[in-house]
Amino acid sequence: MNCIKIKAPAKLNLSLDITGQREDGYHLLEMVMQTIHLYDQITLEKSNEISLECDCPDIPCNGKNLAVKAAKAFFHATHLDGGVKITLQKRIPHGAGMGGGSSDAAAVLKGLNRLYHTPLSTKQLDKIGLKLGADVPFCLHGGTMLVTGIGENLLELQDMFPCWFVVAKPEQGLSTAEVYQAYDALEEQQMIRPKTNGVIQAIYEKDLETLSRSMANVLEYAVPLQEIAEIRQTMHQHGAYIAQMTGSGSAVFGIFEQEEDAKECAVSLSQTYQQVYVCKPCKK
């Protein structure tokens, strides 16, 4: 086998809380994360060197790209004398807080492990992934999970119950590092923090109302984009149980019980925003 194709799904943060900060500056997180049916498509072909081609001109195709970093980390860990040509069809919005880069990196690690028939275990892949980014270990697993620490502690939860997500991204993307810096600079204020146990309980009980009362993302306080509030308002007007920013933004998602309501909301948002998606949750 000289070529393999693999899907890299986007993720949403059903909740995101910052519980502290380590001495090295890394934030301690508590998040319930969910993969959705919106994918980048990655093709991996054996080669003598590592290269990347992408159909999105905004994405760097050099060593700064997480997919390239993942390939380098894989070959370093396995001591293999080889390379890979990575072809990336980008569908997950860039700078959206949807884990596009992390999911691409995870897909490259999993794909190369299959392509080169190497025996790297899940724990080994997680360890490599964590060095690339906090979301990469989760993206290696997918589904519905509680993620804590700096992204290294993963607890598999029950699959998210059937529902519909509408995701809309403002034109302006955001830098994860800059959003966390802005959060650190915030003065002490009364924040609405997620009730993580409530989110988990609601998933197990398939209770949208409890879920909506328990969800929150503290990073929204560090992102003063007017479009986020406008998208949330539109989603609520069309029947969303909850609407909030995912990750470090700038994408916003709403949760709907009925497909018809979700699609009507997407049509309305599409009149203003170019990147609007209707998705279902992925199972592990």
Confidence (pLDDT) at 90 = 97
Confidence (pLDDT) at 284 = 78
171 and 151 fall within a common domain: no
20-39 pLDDT, tens digit each: 999 998 999 999 999 999 99
Q: In which band, very low, low, confident or very high, does the pLDDT at 256 lie, cut at 50, 70 and 90?
A: very high
Q: What CATH number is given to the structural domain containing 252?
A: 3.30.70.890
34 in any annotated domain: yes
Q: pTM of the full predicted structure?
A: 0.95
113 and 44 fall within a common domain: yes
155-168 pLDDT, tens digit each: 999 999 999 999 99
Confidence (pLDDT) at 1 = 79
Confidence (pLDDT) at 166 = 98
Q: Could you tell me which residues come within 8 angstroms of residue 115 by beta carbon, excluding any fewer than 6 positions away? A: 1, 2, 3, 4, 44, 46, 84
57 and 99 fall within a common domain: yes
Query: What distance in Å separates the CA atoms of residue 211 and residue 182, rounded to the nearest whole number?
Result: 28
Domain that holds residue 116: 3-156
73-132 pLDDT, tens digit each: 999 999 999 899 999 999 999 999 999 999 999 999 999 999 999 989 999 999 999 999
Residue 188 has pLDDT above 80, yes or no: no
Full DSSP string of 64-133: TSHHHHHHHHHHHHHT---EEEEEEE--SPTTSSS-HHHHHHHHHHHHHHHHTT----HHHHHHHHHHH-
Confidence (pLDDT) at 187 = 80
173 and 149 fall within a common domain: no
Q: What is the mean pLDDT of the chain?
A: 96
284 in any annotated domain: no
Q: In which band, very low, low, confident or very high, does the pLDDT at 257 lie, cut at 50, 70 and 90?
A: very high
Confidence (pLDDT) at 142 = 97
Residue 283 has pLDDT above 90, yes or no: no
251 and 229 fall within a common domain: yes
Confidence (pLDDT) at 53 = 97
Of the candidates 168, 191, 188, the one whose C-alpha atom is nearest the C-alpha of residue 246 is: 168
Query: What distance in Å separates the CA atoms of residue 186 and residue 217, rounded to the nearest whole number?
Result: 15
Confidence (pLDDT) at 190 = 78
138 and 181 fall within a common domain: no
If one counts the domains in the chain, the total is 2
Q: In which band, very low, low, confident or very high, does the pLDDT at 11 lie, cut at 50, 70 and 90?
A: very high
Catalytic residues: 11, 135
Q: What CATH number is given to the structural domain containing 142?
A: 3.30.230.10
143 and 25 fall within a common domain: yes
